[in-house]
Amino acid sequence: MLKYQQVAAEIEQYINQHDLKQGNKLPVLEQLMSQYAVSKSTITKALELLERKGVIFQLRGSGIFVRRHNRPGYMSLFSTQGFKSNLGDRVLTSDVLDVSVTKPDVTVAQNLGIDVTDDVYRVERVRFVDGEVFCYEESYYVKAIVPYLNREIVADSIFDYVQGALGVTIGFSDMYMQVGRLTETEAGYLGLQTDDPTLRIETIFHLSNGKPFDYSRITYHYEHSQFVVQANGPYM
């Protein structure tokens, strides 16, 4: 783990353990520097990371302050999307409906930037948060990048496996979201009625070299899913 990531993690841990509230002030830069025994640019980088994550905000001439949103029950949109495994104390489980190798249809192939003759893993899951139905997910993995999957891996975290055992790094993702109505099969999986409202998110995950390796379609249970997104300022 990089030094600035380590420092960021420690500061975040400190904030959580001491249950600091929105607006609470952290030690000044110079003190953090000596406290963690790193240079100014390293501590700055760590703080920038935490700022992006929505954990702190910095105010020139004033100090470094804790940032918090005050709505329990809302999950970070990104934590449910592979990134930042921070689900708090909620328990995430899965019913694995399918893990198989197939050929992609044109839509899937196009989203993954591959040919319809290339192999993909198809994974189908219903996911639960604290025992409540949360979403229905259908996802496709490029087999050339993810050569092996099984029910055990899929029941846990695919991303941890991919980054751990396969040694590839996930770079970025494009999420496409829209609201619609449930189909009959989706409604069955989610325990809802056909034509009930739903949020659909399609996501294309790319490796850090830019290659797409996972295309997934998630259909959320509209009563059991509410999200928070902490955005940072007008960039320019």
Partner DNA sequence: TTGATTAATTGTACCGGTACAATTATAGTA
Partner DNA sequence: TACTATAATTGTACCGGTACAATTAATCAA
For 172-181, give one letter per residue: b (16+ CB within 10 A) or e.
ebeeeeeeee
The residue within the footprint of DNA, chosen from 17, 19, 61, 233 (CB under 7 A), is 61
Q: Smallest Cα–Cα separation from 46: which of 86, 85, 2, 76?
A: 2
Site map 131..170 versus its own copies, x via CB under 8 A = --------------------------------x-----xx
Give, in order, the Cα–Cα distances in Å from 22 to each of 7, 45, 61, 168: 20, 21, 18, 37
The residue within the footprint of its own copies, chosen from 34, 103, 174, 194 (CB under 8 A), is 174
Residues 137 and 220: beta-carbon distance below 8 Å: no
71 near DNA, judged by CB under 7 A: no
The residue within the footprint of DNA, chosen from 17, 70, 178, 209 (CB under 7 A), is 209
The residue within the footprint of DNA, chosen from 9, 12, 24, 29 (CB under 7 A), is 29
Rounded Cα distance between 222 and 200, Å, is 10
CB of 24 to DNA, least distance (A): 13
Give 93 or 173: the residue with its C-beta nearer to its own copies.
173
C-beta atoms surrounding 68 within 10 Å? 16
Residues 195 and 222: beta-carbon distance below 8 Å: no
CB of 167 to its own copies, least distance (A): 15
Give 29 or 145: the residue with its C-beta nearer to DNA.
29
Rounded Cα distance between 28 and 64, Å, is 7
The residue within the footprint of its own copies, chosen from 17, 91, 131, 235 (CB under 8 A), is 235
Rounded Cα distance between 168 and 164, Å, is 8
| SS3 (DSSP) at 23 | coil
Contacts (CB under 8 A) with its own copies, residues 68-87: 69, 71, 74, 77-78, 81-84
Give 7 or 154: the residue with its C-beta nearer to DNA.
7
Rounded Cα distance between 127 and 116, Å, is 28
CB of 84 to DNA, least distance (A): 16
Which partner in DNA, its own copies, none is near 174 (CB below 5 to 8 A by kind)? its own copies
**Cβ neighbours for 178, distance < 8 A, ≥ 6 positions apart:** 199, 200
Binding site for DNA (CB under 7 A): 2-5, 28-30, 38-42, 44-45, 47, 58-64, 208-209
Binding site for its own copies (CB under 8 A): 1, 5, 8-9, 22-23, 49, 52-54, 57, 59, 62, 65, 67, 69, 71, 74, 77-78, 81-84, 163, 169-181, 196-199, 206, 208-210, 220, 222, 225-236
